[in-house]
Amino acid sequence: MPYVIEMYFDAETDFRIRTIWEKFASIGVSFMHDSGGRPHVSLAVCEVVDIPAACQLLDRFAGATSHFSIAFSSLGMFPGAESVLFLAPKVTSELLALHARFFSEFASVSRDCWVRYSPSHWVPHCTFAMRLESHQISRALDICHAAGLPLVGSVCEIGLVETLPIKQLYAAPFAEALIGSRQIDAAIS
């Protein structure tokens, strides 16, 4: 079961993305809506993680990282038999540096990290729809167009998630978002 490190958004941005997930569910593309996950940008995915050490790393990293603005200004697609449609943030040198800094530290508490999340391959994105079939693409694009871009918000939290099924294990707010960190109640997942 893979583990994922995700960055989360302010309440308004989270709500806007969840609203779009609901619209996708209405056309039969419900994976994100039904997943139990939160809207996010993934920083790393690995097969094995030392959970206590990863939680300590998240606390340290979050404490040294201020919450920051993010501007989603375009759509992208990972093509394939079951395409993935995503919201793409404007890529900045600061975002790339944050990812590289995190990824290098995360390597000490994880194994078998997915190469497509390494700094030389990472494509930052917030998934709108997974398992998108070709006949749904036009309707999905209409939903995205109606939602309006750009979507500007803040990234204010980082978390550790276990997948299949999705279960949030831990989250820590970035500096200036909240003080301290919080353990996620297992009953939420």
Render pLDDT for 20-31 as a digit per residue (tens, 0 to 9).
999 989 988 888
> Distance between CA atoms of 174 and 158, rounded to whole angstroms?
7
Domain at 151, CATH number: 3.90.1140.10
> Which tens digit of pLDDT belongs to each residue from 152-165?
999 999 999 999 88
Above 50 in pLDDT, residue 94? yes
For 87, the domain range is: 3-188
Above 60 in pLDDT, residue 177? no
Q: How many domains does the chain have?
A: 1
Which pLDDT band holds residue 151 (cuts at 50, 70, 90)? very high
Output the pLDDT for position 28.
Answer: 86
pTM for the predicted model, two decimal places: 0.88
Of 44, 32, 60, 61, the C-alpha closest to 132 is 32
> Distance between CA atoms of 127 and 122, rounded to whole angstroms?
14
Q: In this structure, what token pair is assigned to residue 175?
A: 């500096």
Q: In this structure, what token pair is assigned to residue 152?
A: 């500007």
Q: Pseudo-torsion of CA 136, 142, 143, 146, nearest 10°?
A: 180
